[in-house]
C-alpha cells in the first residue's frame, strides 16, 4: 500500500479544516488490486497540500497535518478507511463471482478477517454441558518436569538432545528472518518452543534482567509446550516457536532500536509464546456454532484468544513455573496488561482495525535524525507491539518458499479436518474447509493479495527500509503460487481471434475451391454413369454408344438448320425446354434422360417440322 492522499471532499457536518476522506493509492512496486476495472485509485494529492513530499516510501517522512477534527476529535483517516473497505468488498465480490473456488476464498477472507459472521442455528446445550462448572479453566493438565536442573547441569539450549551440534548450526540463524523451525524441532527432540524461548532469553539476557531462575524458566516453557496439542496440524508448538522467533527478529529491527523497555520486550515474547496454547484445531466460529463450553464462557467474543491467555497465565501457578516471581507488583500488572492486549490482537477478525491503526501511525510517525521511530507514549508503543505480534502470526508467506509450503500444507490439513467434523455433524462446511472443492493455490494467492501483503507493506512503511527483503520474498512466493494455479481453457485475445478467423477463412476458401472442382468432376462422372445405366438397359455396348452419339450430334445439327428456317417453331421449343429445366433439377434430368430418348425426341421434332 502506498501513502494516504487526499481525494475530493465528501459531505460532512464536521467543521474541520481538512474535509473529505482519504484514498489509498497503489504501491509503486506491487498491488493485488491492479489491472481490474474499478480498482484504480487516485494518485494525485489535493491542491491544499494535506501532506508534503511524495514518491517512494523512503521519501514519505512528513506526517499529515490537522489529522484530527477539533470538534469531534475523530481521525480524518476514517474516510480513507471507509474507502479501503468499500474497495476490498468490491474486490472480494468480484472474486466470489469468478468460480466456486474463488467464492470459497472470498468467504474465508470475509468471515475470518473482516469480522463478518454468518447466521447459524446454535444447538441447545446438553444435560452434561449444563452440569460443567463454568469457573474451571479447561485444558490445564497436571504435569511434572524435573526441577533439579541447575546452571551446571542445564543443557546448552535448555533441552536434552543427541544433535546438539546440528541444533547449534540451525540456531546460528536465531536473529535472522527465515529460520527453519522444522529443522530446529528435529534436532531439539521435538521441543522447538522450549529451545527457541531458552535461546532468545539467553540472547537478550532477560533471565538475568528479571531474575528468572533457570530451572523455573525451563520448567515453565516445557509445561507450556506440553499444553500445545501435538496432534493439531498447524496450531501447535511449532507455530508458537515460529511466531516467537519472528517477534524476536522484528523487535531487533533498526527502526525500533531502543524504543521498547525490557518489560515490553519480555511481554511481547511471552505473548507470542502463549498466543495459541491449548488450541483445539478448530476456529472460533466452529466453537460458537457447536455451542461449546469455551464459547459460552467467553460470550462468543475472541473465544480462543481469551482461552489461550487464561491457560498461559494459569500455568504460572503450577509448581516451580512462576517465571515472574521476582517482578514487582506494578511490573506484573503492566506485563499482564501488555500480554492481554497483544494476544487478543491475534484474533483475525480484528485484522482490519489493526491495519487501520497501523496506517494511521505510518502517516503520523516521527523519526529521529538516525531514522529511529519516536514512540513517546504508551499507546503508541502498545499499538506497534500489537501489530508486531500480528505480523509475526501472519508471517508464513514471507518465509523462504520451502518453509512456507510446509506451513501451507499444515494449515490446509487442519482446515480439512474441521470440514470433516462439520460434515459428520451435518453442519454447513466452513470456507476453505471442504477438501473436495478447496483450491490451495487460489487460497494462498487471495490470502496474500487481500490480507498479508497490505499488512506487511504498511509495516514496511513504518520501519522503512528494514522490511524490504521480507516484502520481496512475499511477492516471489505469491508469484510462485499464482503460477501453480491450474489454468482452464480460455478464449484467445481479440487480436488472435481476428488472425485465426483469417486463417480459417483462407482454409475454407481453398477447401471450397477443391470441393467445387471435385463436384464438377463428380457431375461428369454422374453423367457418364447415367449414360452407362441407360446403355445397359438398352443392351448396347460402347461402340454402339459412340456411333449413337455421332448420329445424335448430326441430327441435332440438322435440327438446328431446320429450326433456323422456322423461327416460330424454334421459339416454342425453347419455351418448352426452359419450363422443363425449371421444374426438374439438372442432375435428375441428366440421370433420367437416356441417349435413346433424346434420339426419339429429336426425330419426332424433326417430323413435326
Instruction: Report the distance separating Cα 333 and Cα 364, nearest Å.
Output: 30
CA gap 282, 261 in Å, rounded: 35
In contact, 456 and 474? CB cutoff 8 Å: yes
Q: Is 244 helix (H, G, I), strand (E, B) or coil?
A: helix
The C-alpha cell 468460480 sits at: 99
Inter-CA distances, 476 with 57, 59, 420, Å = 20, 25, 33
CA 259 to chain centre: 35
Enter the C-alpha cell of residue 271: 505473548
State the catalytic residue, choosing from 145, 227, 229, 235.
235
Residue 30 CA to residue 494 CA, distance in Å, equals 27
| Nearest partner of 454 among 80, 52, 6, 47, judged by Cα | 80
Residue 452 DSSP one-character state: I
Burial code (b: 16+ CB inside 10 Å, e: under 16) for 230-240 equals: eebbbbbbbbb
Task: Count Cα neighbours of 606 within 13 Å in the Cβ-side half-sphere.
Answer: 15
423 with 429: CB under 8 angstroms?
A: yes
CA-based nearest residue to 579, from 589, 569, 592: 589
- Helix 378-393 to helix 329-344 angle (10° resolution) is 50
Strands 22-23 and 5-6: antiparallel
Q: Known catalytic residue: 145?
A: no
Helix axes 77-98, 351-364, angle to 10 degrees: 140
List CB contacts of 31: < 8 A, sequence separation 6 or more: 1
Contact 75, 68 (CB under 8 A): yes
- Distance CA(296)–CA(292), nearest Å, equals 6
CB 50 within 8 A of CB 65: yes
Residues 6+ apart with CB under 8 A from 215: 147, 148, 149, 150, 154, 320
Other residues' Cβ atoms within 10 Å of the Cβ of residue 70:
10
Nearest to 85 by CA among 462, 454, 475, 478: 454
Three-class secondary structure assignment of 263-285: HHHHHHHHHHHHCCCCCCCCCHH
Catalytic residues, by residue number, are: 235
Amino acid at each position: 500500500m502506498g501513502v494516504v492522499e487526499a481525494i475530493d471532499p465528501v459531505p460532512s457536518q464536521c467543521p474541520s479544516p481538512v474535509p473529505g476522506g482519504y484514498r489509498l493509492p497503489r504501491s509503486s512496486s506491487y498491488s493485488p488490486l491492479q489491472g481490474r476495472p474499478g480498482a484504480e485509485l487516485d494518485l494525485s494529492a489535493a491542491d491544499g497540500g494535506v501532506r508534503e513530499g511524495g514518491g517512494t516510501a523512503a521519501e514519505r517522512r512528513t506526517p499529515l497535518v490537522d489529522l484530527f477534527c477539533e470538534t469531534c476529535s475523530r481521525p480524518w483517516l476514517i474516510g480513507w478507511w471507509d474507502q479501503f473497505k468499500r474497495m476490498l468488498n468490491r474486490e472480494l465480490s468480484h472474486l466470489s463471482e469468478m468460480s466456486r473456488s474463488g467464492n470459497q476464498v472470498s468467504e474465508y477472507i470475509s468471515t475470518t478477517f473482516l469480522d463478518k459472521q454468518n447466521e447459524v442455528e446454535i444447538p441447545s446445550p446438553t444435560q452434561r454441558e449444563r452440569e460443567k462448572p463454568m469457573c474451571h479453566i479447561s485444558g490445564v493438565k497436571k504435569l511434572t518436569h524435573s526441577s533439579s536442573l541447575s546452571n551446571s547441569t542445564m543443557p546448552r539450549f535448555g533441552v536434552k538432545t543427541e544433535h546438539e551440534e546440528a541444533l547449534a548450526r540451525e540456531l546460528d540463524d536465531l536473529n535472522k528472518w527465515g529460520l527453519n523451525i522444522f529443522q530446529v524441532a528435529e534436532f531439539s527432540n521435538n521441543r522447538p518452543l522450549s529451545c527457541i524461548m531458552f535461546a532468545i532469553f539467553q540472547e537478550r539476557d532477560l533471565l538475568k534482567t528479571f531474575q528468572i531462575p533457570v530451572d523455573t524458566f525451563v520448567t515453565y516453557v516445557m509445561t507450556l509446550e506440553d499444553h500445545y496439542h501435538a496432534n493439531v496440524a498447524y496450531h501447535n508448538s511449532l507455530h508458537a516457536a515460529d511466531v516467537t522467533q519472528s517477534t524476536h527478529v522484528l523487535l531487533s529491527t533498526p527502526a525500533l532500536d531502543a524504543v521498547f523497555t525490557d518489560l515490553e520486550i519480555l511481554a511481547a515474547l511471552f505473548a507470542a509464546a502463549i498466543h495459541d496454547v491449548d488450541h483445539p484445531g478448530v476456529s472460533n466460529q466452529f466453537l460458537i456454532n457447536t455451542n461449546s463450553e469455551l464459547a459460552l464462557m467467553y460470550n462468543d467474543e475472541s473465544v480462543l484468544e481469551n482461552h489461550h491467555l487464561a491457560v498461559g497465565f494459569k500455568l504460572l501457578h503450577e509448581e516451580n513455573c512462576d517465571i515472574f516471581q521476582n517482578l514487582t507488583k506494578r511490573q506484573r500488572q503492566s506485563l499482564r496488561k501488555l500480554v492481554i492486549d497483544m494476544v487478543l490482537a491475534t484474533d483475525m477478525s480484528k485484522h482490519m482495525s489493526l491495519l487501520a491503526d497501523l496506517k494511521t501511525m505510518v502517516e503520523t510517525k516521527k523519526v529521529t535524525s538516525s531514522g529511529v521511530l519516536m514512540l513517546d507514549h504508551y499507546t503508541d508503543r502498545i499499538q506497534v507491539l500489537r501489530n508486531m505480534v500480528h505480523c509475526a502470526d501472519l508471517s508464513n508467506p514471507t518465509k523462504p518458499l520451502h518453509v512456507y509450503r510446509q506451513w501451507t500444507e499444515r494449515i490446509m490439513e487442519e482446515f480439512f479436518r474441521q470440514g470433516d467434523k462439520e460434515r459428520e455433524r451435518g453442519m454447513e462446511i466452513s470456507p476453505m474447509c471442504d477438501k473436495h472443492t478447496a483450491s490451495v493455490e487460489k487460497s494462498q494467492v487471495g490470502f496474500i493479495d487481500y490480507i498479508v501483503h497490505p499488512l506487511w507493506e504498511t509495516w514496511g512503511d513504518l520501519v522503512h527500509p528494514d522490511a524490504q527483503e521480507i516484502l520481496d520474498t512475499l511477492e516471489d512466493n505469491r508469484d510462485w503460487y499464482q503460477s501453480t494455479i491450474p489454468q482452464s481453457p480460455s478464449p484467445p485475445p481479440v487480436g488472435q481471434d481476428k488472425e485465426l478467423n483469417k486463417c480459417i477463412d483462407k482454409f475454407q476458401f481453398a477447401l471450397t475451391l477443391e470441393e467445387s472442382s471435385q463436384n464438377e468432376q463428380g457431375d461428369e462422372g454422374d453423367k457418364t454413369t447415367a449414360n452407362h445405366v441407360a446403355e445397359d438397359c438398352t443392351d448396347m455396348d460402347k461402340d454402339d454408344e459412340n456411333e449413337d452419339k455421332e448420329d445424335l450430334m448430326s441430327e441435332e445439327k440438322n435440327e438446328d438448320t431446320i429450326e433456323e428456317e422456322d423461327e416460330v417453331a424454334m421459339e416454342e421449343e425453347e419455351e418448352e425446354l426452359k419450363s422443363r429445366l425449371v421444374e426438374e433439377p439438372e442432375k435428375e434430368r441428366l440421370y433420367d434422360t437416356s441417349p435413346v430418348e433424346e434420339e426419339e425426341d429429336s426425330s419426332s421434332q424433326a417430323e413435326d417440322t
